[in-house]
Amino acid sequence: MHDMVSCCAVAVDGSDSSMDALAWACRLTEPGGTIVMIDIQDFTPLYNEMGMTPFSGGPNVDVDRVSRQWDRYASTVKDKAMEMVAGAGRVGEWEILTMQPGDGSPAAIFDKAAAEHHAELVMVGQHHGSTRIEGLFGSFPRWLVIHGRLPVLIVPVPRKDTP
């Protein structure tokens, strides 16, 4: 029998890669164990863009509208994720972390929340991105591997040539 964890944390944003990571969490967490799903609301790039706009004109961003859209999408993601976890016989906890200017990186606040939930392991999906800029795993997973305080499982993007 393989050792299983009693509590793990998964970064869940609704992407295919985050849902793949959640499926792995269901396999590696013991029956009745807890899977903490953490979604991060990060509008700081919008604020940065608006703050760097010249005095005349620039992006006209309705942050409240964007926030409402994000909330609706996050609710759909939560429902799908909780259903997956419950179907696997695990206990699901859902947490949304809202980034504020000065919080650091999304990975840093994810790592902190995972530790506060007493997770034994964190799981993240490997996102597509520029390998030149983000390295092999992407900036979020890479930050966790280099700076995080918990073991990290990175679920790779399925290869297209794999049946």
Residue 137 lies in a domain: no
Residue 1 lies in a domain: no
pLDDT tens readout for residues 122-154? 999 987 554 544 444 458 898 999 999 999 999
Residue 163 lies in a domain: no
Structural domain span for residue 113: 14-130+146-155
Residue 112 lies in a domain: yes
For the chain, how many structural domains are there in total? 1
Residue 79 lies in a domain: yes
Looking at residue 123, which CATH number applies to its domain? 3.40.50.620
Where the chain has pLDDT below 50, the residues are 1, 52, 56, 130, 132-137
Residue 102 lies in a domain: yes
What's the chain's average pLDDT? Answer: 84
Could you tell me if 85 and 37 are in contact, meaning their C-beta atoms sit under 8 angstroms apart? yes
Q: Which is nearest to 23 in space by CA: 90, 75, 74?
A: 90
Residue 106 lies in a domain: yes
Give the pLDDT confidence score for residue 82 in this predicted structure: 98
Say what the pTM is: 0.83
Give the pLDDT confidence score for residue 97 in this predicted structure: 94
Residue 140 lies in a domain: no
Helices (H), the chain: 16-28, 44-51, 63-87, 106-116, 131-134, 139-147
